[in-house]
Amino acid sequence: MKRYKIKIEYDGTPFIGWQRQENGQSIQGAIEDSIKNIFGETITIFGAGRTDAGVHAMGQVAHFDINNKELEPFVIKNALNDHLRPFPIAILDVDEVDNQFHARFNALQRKYLYRIVNRKSPLTIEKGRAWHVHKDIEVDPMKECISLIEGKHDFTTFRSAHCQSNSPIKTIDSLKITKSDENIYFGFSAKSFLHHQVRSIVGSLKLVGEQSWSVNDFSDALSSKERSRCGAVAPPDGLYFMEVKY
């Protein structure tokens, strides 16, 4: 049996999310079906993170096992990319790994990027790939919230009601907020995240940036540990799974 690690890029717009489900096309399902078509084996791939419907990835990582195959990684990469057409999924890298490797459980850090396009005019080319915010957003007030978010906290306020994590306590290694022209970027790094944590935080930070909330309002919302105190959750369009470190 051979175990392979793959790095994946995808546009999440047409999918119901990473995880295979009965009610639509998933990224996991598309890749598993392609592997079955190529190798004649029904397998399960294990991803480093389960992205929601509409969420994109630049560096999702997954692994899978194949029996009795002696194919080079580049052959698997080319075959998968060929079979995945016309899905907006690309296999960027394939590596043979030790059978002890696990894409999810061996991950030391995950990085997500959230992107806002802050302008009056509607999005055309970028539609579905960023959160379009009409109202002017100031970056400096949002940056004042970084020290409140980084580190180990109870993030109940910024946790989906459907989150399956055993604990709301997570450690955010770093958060960087930058602006370039009309683009505002939020870069999050942590070992793991709660369901909707990044989108929930960004939705509340946006309220600070447009001065609907003060920094103290954000701090009070976090401290309250009440989901009802969270601002409107940012849409999936602007979220990108960027990288996994092992």
Residues designated catalytic: 52
Nearest one of 107, 105, 5, 15 to 56, comparing CA atoms: 15
φ/ψ of 157, rounded to 5, equals -60, -35
With left for phi above 0 and alpha for psi between -120 and 50, is residue 31 left, alpha or beta? Answer: alpha
Half-sphere CA count of 155, side-chain side, radius 13 A? 29
- The three-state secondary structure class of 153 is strand
At position 209, the amino acid (one-letter code) is G
